[in-house]
Structure 1
Amino acid sequence: MNVLSEDQRQQITDIVVGILEIDPAELTDESLFKEDHDADSLRAIEILAALEREFKVEINQAELARMVNLQGIYQVIAEYTGNRA
């Protein structure tokens, strides 16, 4: 279980919405970036890089396999920032 603050979750959502160029209403915690929002691997790398800058962490690219939706990103960011329950 992650313990990200609502502000952190909103920061992540804002990053993803901006990079995927979608309406925030289209994005849910479970919607899949590739299948539901037509994201390609370049967009995934852009999201990863933006998250690293925003949260000042270095995320292993292998984590992209888990970062397929917001829920996955929340878990990865919680682990990399030390916000684990």
Structure 2
Amino acid sequence: MTVASVEFQAKIKEIVCEILELDEDEVSDTSLFKEDHDADSLRAIEILASLEKEFKVVIDQAELARMVNLAGVYEVVGEAACR
């Protein structure tokens, strides 16, 4: 993993944890936002909007189905950034 991708993932995790009101050590790459952290659909949309603003990308709301954990979010944002 490159330094850029480590920093990219750290920023995403920071944004997600801020919105979910969790400490970063409470969230793993595979912990599920809804099932493990009681996130609702409004929080998911808030995460999507914050990521779009931070990384200056456009993410289709259909991608929310893949954004169930940090691993999914990294993938979706990475793909959006490459467009």
TM-based fold match above 0.5: yes
Cα distance in 1 for partners of 2:77, 2:22 equals 22
SS, match of residue 15 in structure 2: helix
Cα distance in 2 for partners of 1:15, 1:29 equals 14
Structure 1: any 5+ residue segments left out of the alignment?
none
> What's the C-alpha RMSD, in Å, of the aligned pairs?
1.8
Q: Specify which structure has the higher proportion of helix.
A: 2
Q: Give 1:66 shift.
A: 0.1
Structure 2: any 5+ residue segments left out of the alignment?
none
Cα distance in 2 for partners of 1:67, 1:73 equals 5
Q: Give 1:51 shift.
A: 0.3
**Residue 8 of structure 1 pairs with residue 18 of structure 2:** no
Identity %: 62
Letter in 2 for 1:70: L
| Alignment correspondent of 1:55 | 55
The number of aligned residues is 82
Q: Give 1:23 shift.
A: 1.2
Letter in 2 for 1:74: Y
Q: Give the alignment of 1:15-54 within 5 angstroms.
A: 15-54=15-54
4+ residue runs over 2 A deviation: none
Cα distance in 2 for partners of 1:20, 1:67 equals 14
SS, match of residue 5 in structure 1: helix
Q: TM-score, normalised by structure 2?
A: 0.93
Q: TM-score, normalised by structure 1?
A: 0.91
Structure with more relative contact order (C-alpha pairs < 8 Å, separation 6 or more)? 1
Task: Output one character per residue of 1:4-39: Cα deviation in whole Å (capped at 9) or x when no partner.
Answer: 611100110000000000111110000000000000
